[in-house]
């Protein structure tokens, strides 16, 4: 069901007029709350489509991303390494005020814990699927986006997965809406 909504969002957004962009981003992730007890700082990457709707200041977003955090050594035995990974599919909305933007997103996440023993080639993996959401804000400088994002997965009968990410993205402009006098007046 989430996949159907995700792809419908892409097709509806592509049919709209406005600024259409593709963004490639990297991030540093900092676990908070219960996740901070289990994991260390991590990093990740994503690809995002930004599809213009209505005025030049609005976009529908679709994103696919992966991030991982190494588990703290205190939870591991000697010779074992492990990390906590998350693959997300998001749909969202971005609203811009001049160069600043706010972007709520929601979707599905596939989180896994992967572990490896240095003495064997066999690893262990456990993957679970959760509803995931994020709220980001940032600043656009031409092709660059600098942002901070709070990301959370709602886990039943367990501890939630929460982290803050510092993001740097590079945008490729696919098409841009020509600015009108009304668009300029709406900026103020």
Residue 181 has pLDDT above 80, yes or no: no
21 closest CA partner among 179, 171, 136, 177: 171
Question: For residue 75, what are the β-bridge partners?
Answer: none
pTM, full prediction: 0.77
CATH class of the domain comprising 2-160+169-186: mainly beta
Which residues fall within 8 angstroms of residue 39, CB to CB, at 6 or more apart?
31, 69, 70, 71, 72, 83, 84
Say what the pLDDT of residue 113 is.
77
Distance of CA 141 to the CA centre of its chain: 19
Residue 79 DSSP class: T
28 closest CA partner among 13, 49, 48, 44: 44
Which residues fall within 8 angstroms of residue 122, CB to CB, at 6 or more apart?
none
Classify residue 6 by burial, with Cβ atoms within 10 Å: 0-12, 13-18, 19+.
Answer: middle
pLDDT in tens, 127-173: 888 899 999 999 999 999 999 999 998 777 667 789 999 999 999 99
pLDDT in tens, 45-101: 999 999 999 877 899 999 999 998 888 877 666 767 777 888 999 999 999 999 999
Looking up tokens 């992967």 gives 114
User: Residue 177 — φ and ψ, nearest 5°?
Assistant: -75, 135
135: tokens are 């709220």
């Amino acid at each position: 069901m989430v996949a159907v909504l995700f792809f419908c969002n892409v097709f509806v957004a592509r049919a709209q007029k406005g600024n259409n962009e593709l963004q490639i981003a990297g991030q540093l992730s900092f676990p908070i709350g219960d996740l901070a007890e289990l994991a260390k700082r991590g990093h990740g990457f994503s690809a995002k489509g930004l599809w213009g709707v209505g005025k030049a200041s609005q976009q529908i977003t679709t994103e696919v991303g992966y991030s991982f955090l190494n588990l703290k050594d205190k939870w591991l035995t000697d010779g074992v390494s492990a990390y906590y990974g998350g693959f997300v599919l998001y749909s969202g909305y971005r609203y811009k005020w001049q160069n600043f933007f706010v972007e709520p997103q929601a979707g599905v996440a596939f989180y896994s814990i992967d572990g490896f023993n240095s003495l064997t080639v066999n690893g262990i993996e456990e993957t679970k699927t959760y509803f995931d959401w994020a709220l980001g804000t940032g600043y656009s400088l031409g092709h660059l986006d600098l942002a901070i994002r709070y990301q959370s997965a709602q886990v039943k009968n367990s501890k939630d997965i929460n982290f803050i990410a510092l993001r740097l993205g590079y945008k490729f402009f696919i098409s841009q809406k020509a600015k009108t006098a009304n668009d300029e007046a709406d900026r103020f």
